[in-house]
Amino acid sequence: MATPAFEEIAETFEFLDDWEDRYRHVIDLGRAMPELEPSFKVPALKVEGCASQVWLRPVPEAGLFQFQGDSDAMIVRGLIAVLHALYAGVPMAQVGAIDAHAELGRLGLNDHLSAQRSNGVRAMVERIRKVAAQG
């Protein structure tokens, strides 16, 4: 049930031979993502449970889930970009049905992230689900 944007990332990962190349690709995805305006880097939008600073700003439109995000760590910005590809444009009511753990597992991220980064991704997914459920 992944979006076309996420499927594109998954296809790219299939062509990358080793984890270092995949890691660089995730960082590149983060670099390509627009920065969050400083005025949105506030405690209410900060995601607790992440080792680095992470902000997610929901901006749903026309019943579809959309968000902006940022982090002070490049790999985390990349992970936000991956989550954006997974969730952006999905109908709000369907966000909770996405198995983020399984989808990220397709990329091999579950096996290559530190425990702290994995906890951070889990916290971001929980925030996304909560916001979508409040719709």
Report pLDDT digits (tens) over 30-76.
999 999 999 999 999 999 988 899 999 999 889 999 999 999 999 99
Contact 96, 43 (CB under 8 A): no
pLDDT category at 2 given cuts 50, 70, 90 is: confident
66-107: pLDDT as tens digits: 999 999 999 999 999 999 999 999 999 999 999 999 999 999
Please compute the mean of the pLDDT values over residues 106-117 and round it to a whole number. Answer: 87
In three-state secondary structure terms, 111 is helix
**DSSP secondary-structure letter at 35?**
P
CA of residue 62 relative to chain centroid, distance: 21
Q: If pLDDT is split at 50, 70 and 90, which confidence band does 112 have? A: confident
The contacts of residue 123 (CB under 8 Å, 6+ apart) are 47, 48, 49, 50, 54
- Paired with 57 in beta bridges are 68
Is pLDDT of 1 > 70?
A: no
Q: Which CATH class is domain 4-134?
A: alpha beta
At residue 96, the 3 state secondary structure works out as: helix
Domain-by-domain residue ranges, the chain? Answer: 4-134
> Could you give the residue numbers annotated as active site?
50
pLDDT at 135: 76
CA 51 to chain centre: 15
> How many other C-beta atoms are found inside a 10 Å radius of the C-beta of residue 124?
24
Residue 9's pLDDT band (cuts 50, 70, 90): very high
Cβ-based burial of 48 (10 A; exposed 0-12, middle 13-18, buried ≥19): exposed
Kindly provide the b/e burial profile for residues 10-41, where b requires at least 16 CB atoms within 10 angstroms of the residue's own CB.
Answer: eeebeeeeeeeebbebbbebbeebeebeeebb
